[in-house]
């Protein structure tokens, strides 16, 4: 099946380069190239591409507004192709993902650069992968009624010493929504594994703190977990918990193709803090964290999956529901409400 791609890029030279890179794969057909966000919205409606690659800084309508408008009118997987060097990527790329884009990838290096072949392969691979995502209309008009909350599947404990959250495709805005709903005096820490392209996690953590108002830090080896703070797994490192409520970073082999992996985090909690764990699996592809979430549930932890209606990809949470690994299936605002009401064991 041919994957059709719309390229949104204001530089003709870069647009031609991206067309050549994507067009080199026989499974991909570039159906259009436009140079600003206004044209992107119109072309998305007219061409109905499988995937859109989106620039951010453009005349008339920028990539943020174009992404939001496309997701309102004709939801399409949008991949931000960043011109930033990944290690120095700013908040713009993360903001675009929060606006509804499904992924961010660095623009391939130029022909002749030693990294050209590998970086071009990453772009092609990302476009192919994201073409399989069934996106939903994420941004209803102001005043649109909210869906009724999903019912609780099982009653679970209302106490925890730690909250652990795993997320992948579509995760950043959901995490922002959940952290925004947590009180400043939350009596336990929050640990986060978010699958993200290399080089963007530090910017993501900064954006998440700014957008939610909740303290967010990059996790560091041996850190003592503080209540009312969130810790994000850094690039290329699994995040776990040692006994004594200290953070563990590991460069062990990837799990489910990922490092950091949600599975590593949840498994470390089975052996150190179960049953006093609240574990949440959010939108994303694959099944990272599913088996370990079930083990946490069996150990008495509170386990939560994001519901299908609000998930960009009901892969990870859907697999968890199917496996019988969750005690609650909820939309983001209800997840935040449930977590906000947790207390420490022995307290009320």
What pLDDT sits at residue 142? Answer: 40
Identify the pLDDT of residue 113.
Answer: 93
Residues of the chain with CATH 3.40.50.180: 162-340
Q: Which CATH class is domain 162-340?
A: alpha beta
pLDDT for res 153: 43
Using CA of residue 71, residue 311, residue 338, residue 178, what is the dihedral sign?
negative
CATH architecture of 3-130: 3-Layer(aba) Sandwich (3.40)
- The token pair at 194 is 């978010």
Report, as ranges of residue numbers, the positions in the chain whose pLDDT lies below 70: 84-91, 136-157, 347-348
- Dist CA 295 CA 331 (whole Å): 23
Active site residue: 10, 62, 92, 288, which one?
288
Residue 90: per-residue pLDDT: 53
333 among known catalytic residues: no
Catalytically annotated residue among 168, 177, 212, 268: 168
- Tally: H helices and E strands in the chain: 11, 14
Strand ranges (DSSP E) for the chain? Answer: 3-8, 28-34, 51-54, 78-82, 103-106, 162-167, 190-194, 216-218, 230-232, 238-242, 246-250, 277-281, 302-306, 328-330
Instruction: Determine the Cα–Cα distance for residues 217 and 314; give it in Å rounded to an integer.
Output: 28
Output the pLDDT for position 128.
93
CA distances to 168, 175, 288, 307 from 181, in Å: 20, 10, 25, 17
Residues 6+ apart with CB under 8 A from 295: 266, 267, 270
pLDDT at 348: 53
Instruction: Name the segment(s) of the chain with CATH classification 3.40.50.2300.
Output: 3-130
What digits encode the pLDDT tens for the residues 266-277? 999 998 998 999
C-alpha span between 338 and 327 (Å, rounded) = 12
Given 195, 238, 276, 328, which residue is catalytic?
195
Verify whether residue 271 is a known catalytic residue: no
Computed on alpha carbons and rounded to an integer, the radius of gyration of the chain in Å comes to 20
Catalytic residue flag (residue 35) = no
């Amino acid at each position: 099946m041919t994957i059709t791609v719309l390229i949104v890029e204001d530089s003709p030279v870069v647009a031609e380069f991206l067309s050549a890179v994507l067009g080199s794969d026989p499974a991909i057909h570039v159906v259009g190239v436009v140079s600003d966000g206004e044209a992107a919205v119109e072309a998305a409606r007219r061409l109905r591409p499988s995937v859109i690659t989106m620039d951010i800084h453009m005349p008339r309508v920028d990539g943020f507004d174009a992404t939001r408008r496309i997701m309102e009118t004709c939801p399409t997987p949008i991949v931000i192709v960043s011109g930033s060097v990944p290690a120095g990527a700013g908040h713009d790329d993360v903001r675009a993902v929060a606006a509804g884009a499904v992924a961010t990838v660095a623009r391939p290096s130029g022909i002749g650069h030693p990294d050209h072949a590998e970086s071009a392969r990453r772009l092609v691979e990302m476009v192919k992968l994201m073409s399989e995502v069934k996106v939903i209309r994420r941004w209803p008009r102001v005043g649109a009624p909210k869906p009724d909350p999903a019912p609780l599947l099982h009653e679970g404990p209302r106490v925890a010493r730690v909250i652990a959250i795993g997320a992948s495709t579509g995760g950043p805005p959901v995490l922002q929504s959940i952290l925004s709903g947590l009180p400043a005096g939350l009596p336990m820490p929050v640990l986060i594994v978010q699958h993200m392209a290399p080089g963007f996690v530090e910017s993501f953590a900064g954006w998440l703190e700014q957008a939610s108002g909740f303290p967010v830090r990059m996790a560091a080896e041996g850190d003592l977990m503080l209540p009312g703070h969130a810790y994000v797994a850094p690039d290329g490192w699994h995040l776990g918990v040692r006994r004594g409520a200290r953070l563990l970073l590991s460069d062990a082999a990837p799990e489910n193709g990922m490092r950091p992996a949600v599975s590593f985090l949840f498994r470390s909690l089975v052996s150190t803090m179960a049953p006093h764990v609240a574990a949440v699996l959010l939108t994303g592809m694959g099944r990272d964290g599913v088996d370990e979430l079930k083990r946490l549930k069996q150990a008495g932890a509170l386990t939560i999956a994001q519901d299908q209606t609000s998930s960009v990809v009901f892969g990870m949470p859907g697999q968890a529901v199917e496996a019988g690994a969750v005690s609650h299936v909820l939309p983001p605002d209800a997840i935040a409400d449930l977590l906000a009401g947790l207390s420490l064991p022995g307290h009320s």
